[in-house]
Amino acid sequence: MTADGHTDFVNSARTWLSKHILHKIIYRHFAKTLEPCTEKFFGVTPLRVVFFRDVYGIDEKKLDLLVLGMDDSETDLGQRDSIRNETRKRIGVQPDDFVIICGGKIDKRKNIHVLLEAYSQLKTSSAHSSTKLVIFGVPTEEMSYLTEQMAAQKDIIYLGWLNPGDVNPYILASDLACFPGTHSVLWEQVVGLGVPALFRRWKGMEHVDVGGNCLFLEEDGVAALTNALKKIINDKDVYSAMMDVARSRGTDEFSYYRIASQAIGQETTKVKP
């Protein structure tokens, strides 16, 4: 038997009660009960491997990393260009526009409201007149005001809710994925699709960097995000290098075919937490 874990110090155990009672006593008890009959405990990010070890007390010999990824049975990457062109045409994006995409759960910790402010800053310059922003997902009640803001802002294409199987064409139609907040399964998905990305850095989440396909934000805030976007968009050498790595390594390392091979024992990815 194997088990996988999706809890970490960012999305769980954020209060004393949650960390020391719910996780370190209650959930740890169940995890330790399962440990003798479990061959492997897979954390889906390096930080979640650490959580298994430090919070649930799982033997390090039974821990391994099994990343999330992109289902390569859903999208034929050999048709990347035609998917990109058709999707851009459908949403009214020109072939030469630089398209930034973000989406998923739109809550405060995802910092999509910060991205909207940074995008507004970008658009004050004529140099970014052909930059477009695509957003999908539904805001939480707290962030519901963003719906009107997105609808009112020029060059923002708000798609609303998308079924998971409908997301890939929009990612492939984009030039850069931007996730300035907490982790989402979309991080690994965009890497697996070979699209350059800008992520908020979280310790233990740097596995999405396969050698230069992405940049990390070291801090929150509109200024930091605006500057990072300008660096990527304005410096063609920086973007070209990111694209080269994204295409050559991301699609292989985050392929569900390869990940499935690892899960059934044909491949192993050791982690040193």
Residue 272 confidence (pLDDT): 42
For residue 46, what are the CA distances in angstroms to 12, 54, 273? 15, 12, 7
Helix 222-234 to helix 112-122 angle (10° resolution) is 60
Buried b (16+ CB within 10 A) or exposed e, 17-31: eeeeeebbeebeeeb
> Are 97 and 20 part of one and the same domain?
no
> Are 54 and 147 part of one and the same domain?
no
**Integer Cα distance of 164 and 135 in angstroms:** 14
112 domain-assigned: yes
> Are 120 and 50 part of one and the same domain?
no
270 domain-assigned: no
> Are 163 and 200 part of one and the same domain?
yes
Residue 270 confidence (pLDDT): 45
> Are 8 and 92 part of one and the same domain?
no
271 domain-assigned: no
**Integer Cα distance of 122 and 237 in angstroms:** 20
> Are 220 and 119 part of one and the same domain?
yes
CATH code: domain of residue 85? 3.40.50.2000
Number of domains in the chain: 2
182 domain-assigned: yes
> Are 38 and 90 part of one and the same domain?
no
> Are 60 and 139 part of one and the same domain?
no
- Compute φ and ψ for 73, nearest 5 degrees: -85, -15
> Are 119 and 187 part of one and the same domain?
yes
243 domain-assigned: yes
Collapsed DSSP state (helix, strand, coil) of residue 176: strand
Buried b (16+ CB within 10 A) or exposed e, 67-90: bbbbbbeebebeebeebbeebbee
> Are 83 and 42 part of one and the same domain?
no
> What is the tens place of the pLDDT at every residue in 46-64?
888 888 888 888 888 888 7
Of 52 and 135, more confident: 135
Whether the Cβ atoms of residue 211 and residue 39 lie closer than 8 Å to each other: no
Domain that holds residue 104: 77-253
> Are 85 and 197 part of one and the same domain?
yes
For 176, other C-beta atoms within 10 Å of its C-beta total 24
272 domain-assigned: no
Position of tokens 């995802």? 110
> Are 27 and 130 part of one and the same domain?
no
50 domain-assigned: yes
Residue 248 confidence (pLDDT): 93
> What is the tens place of the pLDDT at every residue in 81-96?
999 999 999 999 999 9
List, in sequence order, every beta strand (DSSP E) within the chain: 2-5, 40-43, 63-65, 98-103, 131-136, 156-160, 176-179, 197-200, 214-217
Collapsed DSSP state (helix, strand, coil) of residue 12: coil
Q: Look up the pTM and report it.
A: 0.84
What integer is the mean pLDDT of 135-141?
Answer: 95
Torsion of CA 190, 191, 194, 196, to 10 degrees: 80
273 domain-assigned: no
